[in-house]
């Protein structure tokens, strides 16, 4: 080993991206007996077996690799008399780096690995001039390596080495990799728990109406999201139809969504027949628990299953679409601002009658703001046309048809949660329907 370091400056071609993958894949080792060598590298050195397959030609391909590396050794068994066969038993020029040569030497010696000599220390003087550093040679630090040479069963020789600086780098990389892997594993486990929990927050079964049929779904853009829908039995033949969209994405939005659901369900249980007071309480409780800057758009409708009457408040949400049996469309627009943002908050309650054959669609912006690959928005107009086109179908089929059209229209990547409730009054309208 030279007494001074050599500085080699290489300029990468500008056309090669810096993040392109590049690593050493394979080093060929010529051996006399693949099975014997495989046992040596696997059982004595503790290498992992990367490949052990029989090729179509009948030739066996065996490859092994160090447990902490990515490069593999291909154990090739050349035909006697060939130039490759003459390479068996020579210095491979392969250097294996470890954090403790002495410990590795003792361990492998016990397993029968041949070391021609004891580990030895080699000191290297760092030359600042050759690397462009400003330090003088007098102050240049000395750093060393412990080296040991070992042989495989065929006499192929390898160098086992540790550098102080390399050791520190290896340990740092190992710790960082272990911490990163543990953090990723924890995050994945927590996300799976969040997915299971949120999936249970949506209605598992819908209440049975006498005059109305409902269907609903939520498809998060990520594994979890901030969209919310619910269908609640409010007592005395009244039902709540709810769609909301909490500000934000991912787990943070999912937590707020769970908070909003808990607040809504608790208030629905005690505020029978008073949707305005119910929503005022929801706004107050959600504002107190969610914190500054958190809010949600919300469409809340109370349906009277005896009278077919809908009382609703649109709290900063997209307009619900009421498609009449004859194809006419009414837009149930905002009657209040978003919930959770203002402490002094109020809302207006409006009413509509649902007649036989009428359909009601509540949705979030993941439906109307789905983008095509050309950047075009699906939009309210397309949604309205699709509802008119499929309005005679049962709610589940109508919902599936809408979602299918949205997904067909939009680009492969879903950018926002898709949430939709479709409700339809039983029976057919009197007279001829318009198409």
SS3 343: coil
Mean pLDDT, residues 110-123 taken together: 90
111 is a domain residue: yes
pLDDT tens digits, one per residue of 158-191: 999 886 666 666 677 878 888 888 888 887 777 6
Considering the domain architecture, whether residues 92 and 239 belong to the same structural domain is answered as no
Instruction: Read off the pLDDT of each residue in 93-121 and give the average, rounded to a whole number.
Output: 92
Q: Is the pLDDT of residue 25 over 70?
A: yes
Q: If you search the block for the tokens 């390898």, which residue do you land on?
A: 158
Residues 159, 106 share a domain: yes
**Reported confidence tier of residue 247, pLDDT bands at 50, 70, 90:** confident
Examine residue 15 and state whether it is found in any structural domain, yes or no: no
Cα separation, 279 vs 314, whole angstroms: 11
pLDDT digits (tens, 9 = 90+) for 288-303: 887 777 899 999 999 9
329: exposed, middle or buried (Cβ count in 10 Å: 0-12, 13-18, 19+): middle
> Residue 133 pLDDT > 50, yes or no?
no
Q: Which of 8-17, 77-86, 303-312 has the lowest mean pLDDT?
A: 8-17
> pLDDT for 326-338, tens place per residue?
999 999 999 999 9
**For range 14-37, the mean pLDDT:** 81
270 & 401 share domain: yes
319 shares its domain with 356: yes
- What pLDDT score was predicted for residue 8? 37
Is residue 198, in this structure, part of any structural domain at all?
no
Residues 214 and 246 sit within 8 Å (Cβ to Cβ): no
Mean pLDDT of the chain: 84
Asked whether residue 252 falls in the same domain as residue 313, the answer is yes
Domain count, the chain: 2
Determine, yes or no, domain membership for 267.
yes
382 and 237 both lie in a single domain: yes
Q: CA angle, 363 as apex, 360 and 366 as ends, to 5°? A: 155
Same domain for 178 and 233, yes or no, is no
* pTM attached to this predicted model: 0.58
153 and 223 within one domain:
no
Same domain, 300 and 341: yes
Assess if residue 4 is contained within a domain: no
Instruction: Measure Cα distances from 296 to 2, 243, 260, 273, 290 in Å.
Output: 69, 10, 8, 23, 10
Residue 417 binned pLDDT confidence (cut-offs 50, 70, 90): confident
Q: What is the pLDDT of residue 11?
A: 46
pLDDT in tens, 192-234: 776 666 666 677 778 888 999 999 998 887 766 778 899 988 8
385 and 265 within one domain: yes
Least confident residue range of 18-22, 87-91, 103-107, 257-261: 18-22
Confidence tier at 410 by pLDDT (50, 70, 90): confident
Question: Residues 48-81: pLDDT tens digits?
Answer: 999 899 988 888 999 999 988 788 999 999 999 9
- Confirm whether 16 is domain-assigned: no
Query: pLDDT digits over 304-360, tens only?
Result: 999 999 999 999 999 999 999 999 999 999 999 999 988 889 999 999 999 999 999
We report the CATH number of the domain holding residue 112 as 3.10.180.10
| 252 and 400, same domain (yes or no) | yes
Same domain, 226 and 176: no
Residue 9 is assigned to a structural domain of this protein? no
Predicted confidence band at 19 (pLDDT cuts at 50, 70, 90)? Answer: low
Count Cβ atoms within 10 A of the Cβ of residue 134 and give its class: 0-12 exposed, 13-18 middle, 19 or more buried. exposed
Q: Which residue has the tokens 């009244």?
A: 238
- Residue 196 falls within a domain, yes or no? no
pLDDT at 395 over 80: yes
Domain that holds residue 154: 26-126+142-185
């Amino acid at each position: 080993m030279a007494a001074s370091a050599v500085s080699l400056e290489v300029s990468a071609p500008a056309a090669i991206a810096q993040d392109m993958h590049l690593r050493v894949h394979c080093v060929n080792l010529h051996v006399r007996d693949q099975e014997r060598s495989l046992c040596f590298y696997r059982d004595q050195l503790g290498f992992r077996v990367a490949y052990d397959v029989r090729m179509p030609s009948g030739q066996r391909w065996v490859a092994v690799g160090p447990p902490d590396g990515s490069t593999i050794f291909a154990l090739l068994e050349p035909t006697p008399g060939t130039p490759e066969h003459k390479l068996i038993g020579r210095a491979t020029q392969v250097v294996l780096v470890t954090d403790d040569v002495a410990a590795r030497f003792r361990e492998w010696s016990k397993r029968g690995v041949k070391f021609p000599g004891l580990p030895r220390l080699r000191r290297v003087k760092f030359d600042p001039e050759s690397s462009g550093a400003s330090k003088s040679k007098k102050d240049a630090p000395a750093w060393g390596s412990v080296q040991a040479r070992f042989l495989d069963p065929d006499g192929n020789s390898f160098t086992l080495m540790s550098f102080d600086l390399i050791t520190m780098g290896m340990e740092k990389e190992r710790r960082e990799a272990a911490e990163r892997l543990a953090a990723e594993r924890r995050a994945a486990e927590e996300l799976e728990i969040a997915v299971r929990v949120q999936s249970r927050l949506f209605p598992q079964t819908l209440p049975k109406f006498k005059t109305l049929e409902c269907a609903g779904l939520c498809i998060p853009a990520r594994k979890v999201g901030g969209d919310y829908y619910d269908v609640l039995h409010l007592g005395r033949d009244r039902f709540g139809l709810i769609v909301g969209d909490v500000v934000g994405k991912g787990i943070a939005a999912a937590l707020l969504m769970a908070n909003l659901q808990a607040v809504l369900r608790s208030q629905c249980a005690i505020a029978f027949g008073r949707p305005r007071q119910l929503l005022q309480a929801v706004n107050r409780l959600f504002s107190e628990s969610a914190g500054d800057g958190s809010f949600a758009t919300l469409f809340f409708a109370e349906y009277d299953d005896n009278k077919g009457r809908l009382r609703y408040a649109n709290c900063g949400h997209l307009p619900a679409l009421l498609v009449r049996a004859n194809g006419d469309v009414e837009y149930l627009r905002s009657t209040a601002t978003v919930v959770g943002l203002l402490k002094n908050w109020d809302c207006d309650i409006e009413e509509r009658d649902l007649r036989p054959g009428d359909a009601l669609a509540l949705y979030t912006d993941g439906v109307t703001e789905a983008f095509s690959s050309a950047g075009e928005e699906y939009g309210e107009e397309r949604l309205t046309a699709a509802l008119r086109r499929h309005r005679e179908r049962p709610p589940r089929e109508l919902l599936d048809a809408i979602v299918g059209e949205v997904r067909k229209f939009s680009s492969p990547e879903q950018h926002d949660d898709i949430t939709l409730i479709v409700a339809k009054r039983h029976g057919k309208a009197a007279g001829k329907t318009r198409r």
